[in-house]
Amino acid sequence: MADQDRNRMNRWNLTRRGLIAALSGLASTASAAAAKLQDPSKPWGHDSIYTRLYGIRPLLSCRAHTTVVGGSRMPEEVIRAIAEGNDYFVDMHELNKAAGDRIAEVTGAEAGLVTAGSFSAMVLASAACLSGTDPEKILALPHPTWTRRECLMQTAHKFHYDQAFRAGGATLVHADRREEFERKISERTALIGVLAGTERRKNPDPGLMMPEELVAIGKKHGVPVVIDAASELPPVGSLTRYTKMGADLVVISGGKGIRGPQSTGILAGRKDLIEAATLNHSPNTAIGRGMKVGKEEIVALTVALNRYVGLDHEAVFETWNRKARWLAEQLQGIPGLHAYYRKNAYGFGEIRFEWDQQVIPLTPNQVRDKLKAGEPRIVYYDDAKGGTIQTRTMHDGEEIFAARRLREFFLEEGRRA
């Protein structure tokens, strides 16, 4: 090796060591910042980057990983992956394939693809079922001119995000009961859309078809079935459940239970359909070009996925449950307030609370708005009767801030009556 090359290599090694040290420092700084954030002697979120940059007070989330409040909190190793992924260039076709292979291993599918969130995964699933790998059809989307372009859904499976199938180019068609559903399957039907989690509905419509039944219908008629399981983690078994069921494509959020970047999603399923989705996706010039996923995000999602499948999920549940039980205890003895700990349909604990409006004269909407406007700004799952609190997104110590604020709030509002 020439002296010039040797010197250059030595400088590179020094730079690498500096980068590694910087990444370690980043993780330490993040941990220190999190610890500082939870200091009970100081106002919650008093020195957040959102406040410094924008003057926005952050939210103390008593919810799950929901997009409207920013999704999940990425673990330190995921943040480190973003930083290191940023330091190199890579062939995006190769990266998509390699990350997809890992998704396939974890989900038990034939192939996989990292997408720009689960909505993007649904768009690409729709596009894949409409176009296949036909270059002319890919370029024509989202305005198909051919016959096979309908997405059939049971009316009971309609939800806010089914418009993603339309965004991919499909025409939505709905049917109420099984007999009508099967009658509407024709040469125009390109895919069947299914919403996962319907089996947990408390009082389901007697005619509601479960995912298994819809998959069987799809197999019978040779129509691909796409299942939106974006919010189905936990339990961890949802990673493989719908693939084992025989679904042709499965959509999973990358930024909820997995805790990868909020802007990522997973599409897993049949090899031919994933190939079609990939051709519709960035970096190709197709319908998915505007839904590009950065190299750093792809790496980070893979790291998050590897981390997630290696967790002791029962132990993780217990950390959430312990916070929830303690928080429920702190809300006892408040006149007019009824708060209690319970296990939800996903198998982990949460707090349900309601109040007597004769004692605490506020409507559920008023309570929601006042708590969000207070200090700290608390958000939870509100409904017509009260609210539900989850602790799964909380750093250690945040349950203290939540309990303190909720207790003070309901006591004060009761005294005002």
- Taking only the tens of pLDDT, the chain with its 417 residues reads 455 444 444 444 444 444 444 444 444 444 444 444 456 667 788 789 999 999 999 999 999 999 999 999 999 999 999 999 999 999 999 999 999 999 999 999 999 999 999 999 999 999 999 999 999 999 999 999 999 999 999 998 888 889 999 999 999 999 999 999 999 999 999 999 999 988 787 777 778 999 999 999 999 999 999 999 999 999 999 999 999 999 999 999 999 999 999 999 999 999 999 999 999 999 999 999 999 999 999 999 999 999 999 999 999 999 999 999 999 999 999 999 999 999 999 999 999 999 999 999 999 999 999 999 999 999 999 999 999 999 999 999 999 999 999 999 999 999 987
Last residue of a domain, one of 258, 290, 309: 309
Query: Are both 5 and 124 inside the same structural domain?
Result: no
Q: Please give the Cα distance from 63 to 388 (Å, whole number).
A: 8
Q: Is 24 exposed, middle or buried (0-12, 13-18, 19+ CB in 10 A)?
A: exposed
Closest residue by Cα to residue 106 from 338, 310, 272? 310
Under 8 Å between Cβ of 229 and 252: yes
Going from the C-alpha of 126 to that of each of 96, 176, 208, 214, 272, the distances in angstroms are 19, 21, 23, 17, 14
Query: Are both 9 and 139 inside the same structural domain?
Result: no
Q: Please give the Cα distance from 266 to 376 (Å, whole number).
A: 34
Q: Which two tokens stand for residue 226?
A: 């796409």
Closest residue by Cα to residue 277 from 140, 391, 115, 392? 115
Query: Are both 268 and 284 inside the same structural domain?
Result: yes
Under 8 Å between Cβ of 118 and 107: no
Instruction: Establish if 60 belongs to a structural domain.
Output: no
Query: Are both 323 and 304 inside the same structural domain?
Result: no
Query: What's the domain count of the chain?
Result: 3
CATH number for 369: 3.90.1150.180
Any residues with CB less than 8 A from the CB of 24 and at least 6 apart, and which?
none
Instruction: Establish if 43 belongs to a structural domain.
Output: no
Domain that holds residue 11: 1-37
Instruction: Establish if 67 belongs to a structural domain.
Output: no
Place of tokens 């069921």: 245
Under 8 Å between Cβ of 248 and 270: yes
**How much is the pTM?**
0.88
Query: Are both 17 and 96 inside the same structural domain?
Result: no
Instruction: Establish if 169 belongs to a structural domain.
Output: yes
Fill in the DSSP letter of residue 394: P
Query: Are both 8 and 156 inside the same structural domain?
Result: no
Q: Is 273 exposed, middle or buried (0-12, 13-18, 19+ CB in 10 A)?
A: buried
Query: Are both 293 and 259 inside the same structural domain?
Result: yes
Q: Please give the Cα distance from 363 to 375 (Å, whole number).
A: 20
